[in-house]
Amino acid sequence: MEKIPRVNLSEIIADKIHQDILDRKLNTGDRLPPHEVLCERWGVSRVTLREALKKLDTKGLIEIHQGKGTYVRDYNRDLIEKQFEFRSLLGEKTIIHLFEARKIIETALAELAALRVTDDEIASLDSVLEAMGRTVMEGDNLGFARFDLKFHKTIGGIAKNDVLLMMLEKIQFLIQAQQREMFAYAHDSNPLKSSFHDHQEIYRMIRERNAEGAAEKMYDHIQRMEDRVQAYYGEKKGEKNPPAQSAEITGSIV
């Protein structure tokens, strides 16, 4: 007999709200109905609804203000639409291929950056690293994910190769939602501290104009990230979903 797939209600709700935003049933600045209204409408618990909203917050679609409500963020519609379409294709094999591409492209960018960096650019990269360090101290996982992407893109600009930079931006587009999700659901600050140390080492190699060292540190960092992502998705596959709650979820949020 075939296995019956487990249904994650929070994923279903998150996708429905996501689709309402794409269909312009919800627009920038709109306030979502109160939690109790949504729970009653869809027959789910507050825990399930909060988990769905957390997923949307991680993707940058909504912002949650304690005591004031949940609002649709100002967003790039085309970018969000493409991310939504791509998410269904982002399987384990695709993730492996993305990391293979990162190892090739970003090690080359780190090497070129170490050869071509100016003193002003070192200062610019240092300021990004400093801001990233503050997010580690504050335990701001989503903030860390944003500065992580900015750090790598800054290195791409320092390398002064427009073709490689364009390829990096394409890869970042594909991985940013997954990366934000992984950091957002980290159980502790260890992944942040470990990743921050990697960035410090890459920065040090670039500052010292050590091209070979910069490429090596970048490769090692991306390999550790690949291992962490695969472990993360492995844990997700093993998670037990909550039991089914009431009837099928249908209809838009509005």
Helix (H, G, I), strand (E, B) or coil at 197: helix
Mean pLDDT score of the chain: 81
Count of H-run helices and E-run strands, the chain: 10, 2
Name the burial class of residue 91, with classes exposed (0-12), middle (13-18) and buried (19+) by CB atoms within 10 angstroms of its CB: exposed
Q: What residue ranges of the chain are covered by domains with CATH 1.10.10.10? A: 9-81
CATH 1.20.120.530 corresponds to the domain 89-238: yes
Give dist(CA 162, CA 167) in Å, integer: 9
Closest-CA residue to 157 (of 194, 212, 120): 120
What angle (nearest 5°) sits at the alpha carbon of residue 190, between those of residues 185 and 193?
115
pLDDT > 90? residue 144: no
Q: Please state the rounded mean pLDDT for residues 1-8.
A: 50
160 pLDDT band, cuts 50/70/90, is: very high
Model confidence pLDDT, tens digit, residues 84-112: 555 545 555 677 888 899 999 999 999 99
- End-to-end CA, the chain: 40
Model confidence pLDDT, tens digit, residues 111-125: 999 999 999 999 999
80 pLDDT band, cuts 50/70/90, is: low
Determine contact, residues 20/254, Cβ cutoff 8 Å: yes
Q: Name the residue with tokens 């379409």.
A: 85
Determine contact, residues 141/186, Cβ cutoff 8 Å: yes
DSSP single-letter state for residue 61: S
Q: What residue ranges of the chain are covered by domains with CATH 1.20.120.530? A: 89-238
The structure tokens listed for 112 are 């070129």
Q: What is the pTM of this model?
A: 0.61
Residue 145: its pLDDT value, please?
83
Cβ-proximal residues to 36 (8 Å cutoff; 6+ apart), any chain = none
The structure tokens listed for 23 are 């269909």
CATH 1.10.10.10 corresponds to the domain 9-81: yes
Cβ-proximal residues to 103 (8 Å cutoff; 6+ apart), any chain = 219, 222, 223
Q: Please state the rounded mean pLDDT for residues 198-217.
A: 98
Q: How many residues does the chain have?
A: 254
Model confidence pLDDT, tens digit, residues 35-69: 999 998 888 899 999 989 988 887 778 888 888 89
